Amino acid sequence: MSRVEGLRADSSQFTLERKSFSILGGSIHYFRVPRAYWEDRLLKMKACGLNTLTTYVPWNLHEPERGTFNFHDQLDLKAYVSLAAEMGLWVILRPGPYICAEWDLGGLPSWLLQDKGMQLRTTYPGFVDAVNLYFDKLISVIKPLMFEEGGPIIAVQVENEYGSYAKDEHYLTYIQHCLQSRGIKELLLTSDNWEGLSYGGMEGVLKTINLQRLSFGAIQHLADMQPQKPLMVMEYWSGWFDVWGEHHHVFHAEDMLAVVSEILQRGVSINLYMFHGGTSFGFMNGAMDLGTYKPQISSYDYDAPLSEAGDCTPKYQLLRNLFSQYHSEPLPEVPSLQERRAYDPVAIQQHLSLWDSLHFTDKPCRSERPVNMENLPVNNDNGQSYGYTLYETTITSGGTLNSRNNIRDRALVFADRQFVGSLDYKTHELVLPGGKGEMTLSLLVENCGRVNYGKALNEQRKGIVGDVLLSHTPLRGFTIFCLDMKPDFMERLMSSGQWKSDFKSPSTPGFFRARLYVDGPPRDTFIKLPGWGKGAVFVNGQNLGRHWFVGPQHYLYLPGPWLRSGENQIIVFEEQKADDKILFAENPDHGKTIDVYKLPFCTLL
């Protein structure tokens, strides 16, 4: 079905179907929301007065191994976009290949880093070849959803904030060609923050800006760069993300509303990033590194208008009142709140030490020198992407262990499987106790999340990335175990007969099992682990994300659709400090907060 005319940017206002059109958009990432809740979140978007959904597309989830694609179930992009169309929402797609999104490696697959010479986000042949194969598949999925073919997609973004990276003057033109040569005819646009906006534009591609405050004449700067073109804030940051060990970021509703009101009064189109943040389930959180490495938390609540669990916040109500003024018809009713439950605490019933779990991993790799995660011969030679890697070798004496900053990102160190200390990006040295004869030295290394923004993308290999010295001599002769804790491993673990019920001397690191019995329909809840240290939580095989006592996140969102009536299996992987129970709450505890409006502007770039 061919339509009259899609989104155009030929004058100072957008037109859609040859009528003046303002984009009132919001970002919701399908990969951060349980599929069972897509409809609820999109109905709430529509009821808030928005007319356009924007979403990124994470390459690393859709092509987890080179040439193996997944567009099913939770990753059914076609179903998500089609659902938006059913709701009467337009869609702006942001397919990358790089997306940032506070997502591991900005959405790029880690197997790209197997190539020592890899230059991500450039026209380096190894990168171009991989992008071409991915776009062949991706665009075959999304092309039938384009406006010209009767679908809801009215615009497609060319890469993401490339002006802040800008390592290759030919790269954006290449991505533009990737899209157009495969039949994408809708409006193309770029999005950049203030820092990157001045980077050279492309013929026929509209520039948009990302911001939170209207400082430095940002909108006027964009207008001056593109006279007689429509203006759009592609990312209006409705809140901010959190990193481990710092306070929870908030952006007060009144401050947000003042800026959004002014943007709309100026006739500028807007997309709220995020409208609903959701959760970076599993090990998918990214990290920031603007001089210091800081991994992000699993919650992507973002202090957005819809909370992590889909609640309508005060921001939502204020925005609904504001956006209703831009509609001639009354807005739809807001869907009712999802019911939640604080289940009774459950006791840990069994545990299994990390060491006893090793025979459930894939065959270990033996190597004279340490091998980084991405280059391990696992996952059909695509390497290890996420989780933990255990490096073991034999030593004959104690001494000073020096990582030379080659640990990525954090290692627990054991001598004969007794914990002796940890190494990370701040701590590079550790004294090992002397012993009699040979000892097994074990380093359990966690990938805490690859950097998703900035110039350091090519340096994001994880595990042990170079020599580690013991008394100035490089360690050699490693046995390396991949502990990515994927579903097949967790299934083998759960069906093992080796779990121990004696809880008087639980071994850490290890896995701790409890059973949650749900009577009646399952409801959303939040898991709390006040007496625990650091690790990850799995419910019925689903990886909910990381827990760490340093906060600010002291809960994990457990969606009701991932529970079942009757018995549910909860497994906590714990590195250092286990408790004997797991608690539940109806609402999250965000801990101490900090107002992002009071942070220096440069920290929000």
Question: Which residues does the annotation mark as catalytic?
Answer: 161, 235
Q: Which residue has the tokens 């380096």?
A: 124
DSSP per position, 37-100: GHHHHHHHHHHTT--EEEEE--HHHH-SBTTB---SGGG-HHHHHHHHHHTT-EEEEE--S---
Strands 469-470 and 399-402: antiparallel
Beta strands per DSSP E along 321-477:
346-347, 350-353, 365-367, 388-395, 399-402, 407-408, 410-415, 418-424, 429-432, 439-446, 463-464, 469-470, 473-474
Nearest to 531 by CA among 587, 589, 578, 585: 578
Beta strands per DSSP E along 433-541:
439-446, 463-464, 469-470, 473-474, 478-483, 510-518, 525-528, 534-539
Q: Answer whether 594's CB lies under 8 Å from 604's CB.
A: no
Q: Answer whether 388's CB lies under 8 Å from 378's CB.
A: no
As given in the structure block, the two tokens for residue 149 are: 């073919």
Q: How far apart are CA 2 and CA 384, in angstroms?
A: 45
Q: Which residue has the tokens 């639980």?
A: 506
Q: Which DSSP category does 457 fall into? A: G
Q: Answer whether 85's CB lies under 8 Å from 42's CB.
A: no
Q: Answer whether 156's CB lies under 8 Å from 179's CB.
A: yes
Q: Which residue has the tokens 């529970």?
A: 563
Q: How far apart are CA 29 and CA 12, in angstroms?
A: 30
Q: Which residue has the tokens 């490693």?
A: 478
Q: Answer whether 451's CB lies under 8 Å from 442's CB.
A: no
* C-alpha torsion 198→200→206→210, nearest 10: -30
The strand order across the sheet containing 581-585 reads 346-347, 581-585, 525-528, 556-558
Residues pairing with 188 in the sheet: 156, 205
Q: How far apart are CA 524 and CA 127, in angstroms?
A: 41
Give burial (CB, 10 Å; 0-12/13-18/19+) of 181.
Answer: exposed
Q: Answer whether 562's CB lies under 8 Å from 540's CB.
A: yes
DSSP per position, 104-172: GGGG--GGGGGSTT--TTS--HHHHHHHHHHHHHHHHHHGGGBGGGTSSEEEEE-SSSGGGT---TTHH
- Neighbouring C-beta atoms of residue 580, cutoff 10 Å: 14
Q: How far apart are CA 384 and CA 388, in angstroms?
A: 9
Q: Answer whether 578's CB lies under 8 Å from 348's CB.
A: yes
- Neighbouring C-beta atoms of residue 168, cutoff 10 Å: 16
